[in-house]
Amino acid sequence: MAEAKFDEMDHYKQAELMKFDFRPPPTGWMDTPTDFRPGSWIYPGKAKHLEYLDLPNPREWAVTDEDWQLPKNWKEIVLEGMRERLSRYRTFKIFMDICVRCGACADKCHFFIGGGDPKNMPVMRAELLRSIYRKDFTALGKVFGKLAGGRELTVDVIKEWFYYFFQCTECRRCSVFCPYGIDTAEITIIGRELLGLLGLYVNWVIEPVANCFRTGNHLGIQPHGLKDTLEFFAEDIEDSTGIKVDIPLNKKGAEVLFVTPSGDFLADPGTYTCMGYMALFHEIGLDYTWSTYASEGGNFGLFTSHETIKRLNAKIYAEAKRLGVKWILGGECGHMWRVLNQYMDTMNGPPDFLEVPKSPLTGTVFDNARSTKMVHIMEFTADLIRHGKLKLDPSRNDHIKVTFHDSCNPARAMGILEEPRYVLKNVCNNFYEMPPNTIREQTFCCGGGAGLGTDENMEMRLRGGLPRGNAVRYVQDKFGVNELACMCAIDRATLTTVCDYWAPPVRVTGIHELVSNALQMKGAKDREVNFRLEEIEHWKQKAAPAGRKEGSSDV
């Protein structure tokens, strides 16, 4: 067998990977050059995607090139870009000014914890940008220069930005601990915008963005392809349950538009979660529709620039309007919900053509979404369970001991913490929490968020996944946990690698996959296989399911 390459997990021996400590190098950070070793950075954005999106400076280049083919007046562009953003984002201006370098954030970043590179301390990541801000935008920096922490903007600085702003997953964990709430995600978003002005994008982000702009989803699935995919899912659901579910597509006049991250269409185990939604909607008879045009809930624009967020996000309201739905339901996704909760209404609202969301089954009015008109599926399902609208048999998940990974954005940019736990506790009998420093608002990133979840970045993904993987390992050893539930498409894709590496053989699952296991569907045959089409031993043994449990219990 050929030796594993740098973009494969097996290339990295744990003992080798752990050969670091938190002690910084002897050279000062301004004098320590960036080490572009394979496995720790991402391939540049291809010219065709930049062209498609009308982004500046499209060209073919490589990170390892000496000359990154920046525009001639690159320095002017960056400084002008900074000036403009300093006048547009109070966050940026304030975060540049008030950091006292207390160091509280230092060991809160998963990349620092798993790698020890001092420039992955959130404070340092911001200093990479702040040093330029000081030099060119503050009185002290202009007078005292390096002594006041300022430095000259050079091509090496740009390269360093590229390296470290694509080693931040915008997870906001540091901002929980910062006494001034300095949010490195803001710094990284703006840092990436500045790089973008020079045409410096990573392909893992900009290709999905171009795809999404064109086809409606990151994966570039065309409308007929999406139909095929969903039909394929419906077949598997039928194989598992004997029930044929409908696939409403671009259906005008439906009550609800359903939008989920496109990862759920392609990448296991997200696909099973997607089947879970379909089975659930069928079971409750929801009048809903998928859209091929707005077939992406996720938004890689968030990893590109504020403008790109808006360009991609616009489709959701536009499609809701075109189809004449009453309100919008969103699937299990992380950064998607950051955009939907904190950006969508501001950027593309107000959606005054929609109605305040109301569950057709329970009559619950989702007052907390009264302006955006968009409800999180975990809110929707929790409400169904609370009102006893689902027949659930949690013992159907007895072969699973599950723990729950709070995804960064739903936790720290929304605060949807109890709803998923409520659902989990109603569909599983064996639910165990990971240690308190690794869940809820202190949750750790999967290591592959914000567009870093690509294989050529394997070393950093494994490093960044250490805190999460280790917490999974802890509950695995202590309680025998064998599945990690999450409600995020990127998590479902990247945590599989993290678990395979740090806590094998724990599997990753979406919450609605677990819901579908427990869901007692009307007219279903005695199920022997789940949506993964795996035979479940205790399902087979029970000819008729016993101990059905009506959903509804307290949190």
Partner 1 sequence: MRVVIPLIAVIILFMLAYFGVEAAGLQTLFGVVFPYIALVIFIVGLIYKIVRWAMVPVPFRIPTTCGQQKSFPWIKPSKLDNPSGTLGVIGRMALEVLCFRSLFRNTRTEIQKDGPKVAYASNKWLWLGGMAFHWSMLIVSIRHLRFFTEPVPGVIIGLQDLDGFFQVGVPVFYATSIIFLLAVGWLFLRRVVSPQLRYISLANDYFPLFLILGIGTTGFLMRHLMKTDIVAIKNLTLGLLSFNPAAPAEASGMFYAHLFLVCVLFAYFPFGKLTHLAGVFLSPTRNLSNNSRVVRHINPWNYPVKVHTYAEYEEEFGEKMKKAGIPLDKE
Segment near partner 1 (CB under 8 A); pick from 34-42, 432-440, 504-512, 517-525: 432-440
550 lines the binding site for partner 1 (CB under 8 A): no
Q: Pick from 33, 367, 541, 544: which binds partner 1 (CB under 8 A)?
A: 367
Q: Pick from 78, 82, 124, 284: which binds partner 1 (CB under 8 A)?
A: 124
106 lines the binding site for partner 1 (CB under 8 A): yes
35 lines the binding site for partner 1 (CB under 8 A): no
Tell me the three state secondary structure of residue 431: strand
Antiparallel, parallel or unpaired: β 402-405 and 374-376: unpaired
Residues 64-83 that bind partner 1 (CB under 8 A): none
Residue 131 vs 517, nearer CB to partner 1: 131
Residues 228-247 that bind partner 1 (CB under 8 A): 228
Q: Pick from 319, 332, 393, 500: which binds partner 1 (CB under 8 A)?
A: 319
Q: Pick from 11, 59, 227, 542: which binds partner 1 (CB under 8 A)?
A: 227
How far the first Cα of the chain sits from its last, in Å, is 51
Q: Is the peptide bond before 350 cis (omega within 30 degrees of 0)?
A: yes
Cα–Cα distance measured from residue 245 to residue 262, given in angstroms and rounded to the nearest whole number: 20
**Residue 31, both tokens:** 């004098």
Separation in Å, CA 452 to CA 5, 108, 157, 184, 472:
18, 18, 21, 16, 21
Q: Which helix (H) or strand (E) holds 276?
A: helix 270-284
Burial class (CB in 10 A: 0-12, 13-18, 19+), 360: middle
Q: Pick from 297, 451, 467, 551: which binds partner 1 (CB under 8 A)?
A: 467
Residues 341-360 that bind partner 1 (CB under 8 A): 341-343, 345-347, 349-350
Question: Please, what is the minimum distance in Å from the beta carbon of residue 508 to partner 1?
Answer: 20
**Residue 307, both tokens:** 């403008």
292 lines the binding site for partner 1 (CB under 8 A): yes
Number of residues that bind partner 1 (CB under 8 A): 120
Q: Which helix (H) or strand (E) holds 432?
A: strand 431-432
Cα–Cα distance measured from residue 458 to residue 180, given in angstroms and rounded to the nearest whole number: 33
Residues 191-220 that bind partner 1 (CB under 8 A): 213-216
Residue 20 vs 36, nearer CB to partner 1: 20
Cα–Cα distance measured from residue 270 to residue 247, given in angstroms and rounded to the nearest whole number: 18
Cα–Cα distance measured from residue 170 to residue 33, given in angstroms and rounded to the nearest whole number: 24
422 lines the binding site for partner 1 (CB under 8 A): yes
Residue 173 vs 396, nearer CB to partner 1: 173
Contact flags string 162-181 toward partner 1, x per CB under 8 A: ----------x--xxxxxxx
